[in-house]
Chain A
Amino acid sequence: MANIAKKVSWSGKNDETRGERTPLLNGSEEVRYNRQVPGLSCLCHEQSLLLSLSLCPALLEMQDPVRSRPKEIPHNEKLLSLKYESLDYDNSENQLFLEEERRMSHMGFRCLEISRWVICGLIGVFTGLIACFIDIVVEKLAGVKYSVVKKNIEMFTEVGGLSISLLLWVVLNSAFVMVGAIIVTCFEPIAAGSGIPQIKCYLNGVKVPRVVRLKTLVVKVCGVICSVAGGLAVGKEGPMIHSGAVVAAGVSQGRSTSLKKDFKIFEYFRRDTEKRDFVSAGAAAGVSAAFGAPVGGVLFSLEEGASFWNQMLTWRIFFASMISTFTLNLVLSVYHNKTTELSSPGLINFGTFDLECVQYSLYEIPLFICMGAIGGLLGALFNLLNYWLTIFRIRYVHRPCLQVMEAMMVAAVTASVSFAMIYLSNDCKPLKMDNSEEYPLQLFCADGEYNAMATTFFNTPERSVRSLFHNPRGTYNLLTLGFFTLTYFFLACWTYGLMVSAGVFIPSLLIGAAWGRLFGIWADPGKYALMGAAAQLGGIVRMTLSLTVILVEATGNVTYGFPIMLVLMTAKIVGDYFIEGLYDIHIKLQSVPFLHWEAPATSHWLTAREVMSSPVTCFNQLEKVGTIMDFLSNTATNHNGFPVIVQASGEQVGKLCGLILRSQLIVLLKHKVFVERAHSRLHQRKLQLKDFRDAYPRFPPIQSIHVSQDERECMMDLSEFMNPTPYTVPQETSLPRVFKLFRALGLRHLVVVDDVNKVVGLVTRKDLARYHMGKHGLEELHLAQM
């Protein structure tokens, strides 16, 4: 333990921040005071409040009377944001719940089960329809754009003035992207990016604000259309997963809070537990619509989100996935006038590989592994560059107008670089009758030939992927592929993280397919393009099982299962040596309290006593309304769970008897369920679980609830509403044990008690997510306000 100082995490990377480092918890000695800063007052307020309380006096004595100002540091990845809260996966088995269960008949439970299936079917249908909509609109818009530019280029090729075509292309791209960026930045910033990190967090149990709202869905869909039509190096597959999740969250609730429309159906499912299960089905349906990979979708949900999994849920999710891909297939085949063929199961269609090139021989396996390693290296480089860029963006490019400008600029540069590449390329190939190229550009090629560089750049990315997979040998020459890989790598890396909705799947596939084709230019290029695509994608996102299955399903080819698995495995091993996967990086940079599968490896010596927050704000079973109001309105302590205690006579501290949530208290206050009133108004109906569900998921803020001075003196009886059996652990429980409880049960609050069942502290998600393995052993993250 020589290097102790290093084991604590520091605020920043560079030396100047290290100078003012402060170990987070080591308050009294090292914290610097600076009283000029506003924000102090609220903390004073907090202190006075805490001191005025007499609920857990023993704990209050422990409280350090230090008044520290909030220290400000630049954003980095070692922070936890306060704005994220946990989902309540654990069911609160209070009296109301038991009553409702007693009232419900056997038939009622049957109906619930059936409606779960109906919801999953609906999720599939709507997700599929959204996928169709995106696909068709993108195709139309891109078609218009490319034909206009193509016509313009043809017009100017001979007479001169191609720089005008270049400008036209730049302006068109920027215009599309501007629309996309404006709707994202102004209406719903959470819709930016692929949405997979956010859904991952949601499935992990983090309540990401506004992530599953209808508005987000609308912005996401329009944003994706704009950014793909705007020619950015992006795909529309990642956002499909987010869209599916939003659809699931919306459909399962039977109402839209944004539209103020309540269909009065599926009311039973209005709580986090059920919603989260449906969201995992929605994510699976999204994957399945994006890639035509229903099994891959199920496995994606399993891999990313499911700590809670059972066979029936899996089966339902599979059902939703299947319905989603079938709907997409059906609608698209009707749209393409091939009603009976059902030939487009996914948004991206990798096309089928010819039977004769399906085989691979034994000597190729080392080659594939080698490609996996290259993919891992390139993926790590991609992630590293994107990591730096994202930090820069968060620190400096945070004003909406700047973000829109940045997106437009990327679009303009993408167009001009593509144009320059096409212009300078000498790779001409003869046109064929059965040509798959939609917009062949001739430019300076001889008549009847087309520019091969243009097939990769002057096309939507999905089509480019397909031509790289399937165009016969000799379609591209070495130089074309090399330059394409290089430019697209940097463009894609630059593009991911812009304030537009866009995914990273297709660009990665495209980069990988290009260098894979380069790798296999001496042999059968399509096969190597596929392996390269798998390697690159695996190196960037580091998904394993689900990605293998997705790729196998998308190519419709089980024979390649083994090599794809090898490639992805190698890519992950090599990439993980350098840096994490792209989604994990972005989750970290958003300061989300994300719980991984396991607690950090060397954390067994940490016990619940060190981990927990203390002192805890507790309520008596019979509590004064005024006290509750004061607690809840305190902005400095935004607690969500409050242990409820009973005061035995003669003892100073009460024993734990339950746990109540802020949301429950708010509903109680709103309905004014006070002891005094209950006596006076016997005729009023009793509060039911339904009242809590109606307020879900957007419980009104405490400020909106008005309590008169008289009412402040009333008492509230919490015993009926609290969770009477909260999970507790003794103080000596080790961190991994606590972690396991959290991960496996989906807990939100875990009460730490001493040997006589008195509340000592409270462990929440943020307390656990603080610890992570850094370069120098166990490190601790800071909490920060955002």
Chain B
Amino acid sequence: MPATASGGARPEEAAEAPSASTSASVCMGTRPEELTARLVAAGPAAGAGCVGAAGGGGGAEVEHERVLALREIKNQIIGNRTKKLLYLRLGAVPAVVAALASPGASPAALVQAAAAAGSFACGVDDGARAVLDAGAVGHLTRLLAHPDEKVVDASARALRMIYQSRLAPKFDVNIGKNMDFVLSLLNSENENVTELAATIISHSCESSAEQLSLCSAGVPQKLISLFGGSMNLRDACLDSITAIIRNNRETASRFASMDHGKVFRSVVGLIHDRSPRTRLLTCLCLIALGHACPCHFQDKQIKTKLIMVLLELIEEPGQVGDEAPLALTTLIKDSLELQKQALMTNAVEKLSSHLLANSLETRRAVTILLALSELCSKLEESRSQLMSVEVSTLILEALKHDWADIRVAACSCLKNISRSPKVLSGGRLSCDTVIAPLVQLLCDSSTSVQVAALGAICNIAVNLTPRKSVLLHSGAVSQLVHLSKSMDPTLRLKSVWALRNIMFLLSPRDKDFVVKELTISTLSSLICDSEHFVQEQTLALVHNLVDGYLESANYVIGEDGMVIDAISRQLNNASAPGVCIQGMFVLANIAAGNELNKEAVMRVLLPHRTDCAKPSFVVKFLQSKDKQLRVATLWCLLNLIYPKCEASSGRVVRLQSSGVIPQVKNMINDPCLDCKLRVRMVLEHCVDNADDCFT
């Protein structure tokens, strides 16, 4: 079998290159199977003091062969995912790591083995797993103390790769001697080692306890002192500082006050650094600081500068430009003030033109779309700006793109644009052009796309009132009903939410259509869903269903009372407050109907065969700390005893004897004004009805 071209020993090369590797490669062959076999056969290193290695050929020669085999494997796998997977399957990793473990291994072998191990862990999850399973971390850590500087470099680099991988082992600084270890690494003269320390720190900031310990141990100060080192080291330290302060008010404010704020100001200065990567990392650090302790971050100037710098960074090639829009999204998230600021610096325009000028099939397109989506979340003007002909066309195109991430981002844009009342009244993003593709995405193979499409449809449904026929004729309802039965709770939640929005202010005929698609039995089972969020949305859906038209109450109390039974069950089961509130609103609406309806509600509130020991949930609700629940319950009671009539009086008596009215009397001085008003009205009607009794 000829040596593969990738391996590399071609006759011409062997002649001109003086390196030993090429000539040896001719002897040993460069096929992966051969190499792996030779490495495994070479066994553990003979060691300097070993006498009489079995099978002749001194230890030195075997060691030399091992070095060459390791070097060849390393050169084949670096950068090459396919080769990594091949060598993984051949079982090369344990042999490589074994070379690290050998007590007598030469520095040359250790350097090559470390490089190979690090490379296996880079970018390939299976490789990282194999390297970890073989125990590489322990050996490489030990080798950080090796006398040969090259071995230390190689081990530090390899460990760095491992700790940067997705499967990196947990490293808790609060356990054992871990903190001392990190501190000793930080104090090293070797930049590869200090960079490793920074990487480990970034990785081990999962809990606030870890962040606090690092802060207390003086790590931020140490990291800042390393800013004077090389650019790469400074970047790594910036990243570590961000990890220490992220979402932690305590560490963030301690950092901001370090050295009377001088440190903070020097970090701010880095916003204008020559290196784009440093600028981006600085922005991320300041953004984290701003979120963790807003009080230290009042300066509007810095925020404006951040927006401007990030908008410029979008033009940078490579990873920096790809991630800058994401940083911008994080910065402006949920902040009306910052979104206004961004709008004033022409963010929408700049991002849109960049999007239009480049291919959709890039990570940058995804992050830009997400940034544009966030920019439109609160501001009407951003939405108008975004809906130019070119961008609307692009977004529609993106809905059908091959990449799931692009589809998700496009749906996210549409969701926020649809918050605008103007959007669906014409223009490119009209109901006809948007609804059909969105409904199609409800059947998408990716769950995240389905969820994102549901979000957009939810908002469109709200804003389409009263012209919902478009939605109803698009096949959306049957898709939504289908998703409401999904195994995934998020899909159930969002599809029910969309149905709820559709149901809002719908005509009786259309309500009928939706209920027929959904079926009463599905509705009942959704009311008793395993997730309380789904229960709540379903009850809100029913609330919208019975709102406005008397006959709609039949959906709830008709068909053997399946729905009202389900509601009753939930109200009696100490469910989440949101569920109870919606449930009471439904009952209140039904109680506004005729006698049959009122009696049906009474049966829920005061079941016939009560064991008197257990008080009605009504009393519990009236005592709730949640004012919405108290108000909803009071409305229900009000509707039960109004208008004044014989039946109403009867109900008053029953409510009186079950302790409900006495509880209402206790609420005369309820702190909530709305409640107070309803309490007064209930009591007035009780008196009204009582008067009747006495005549």
A and B: interacting chains:
no
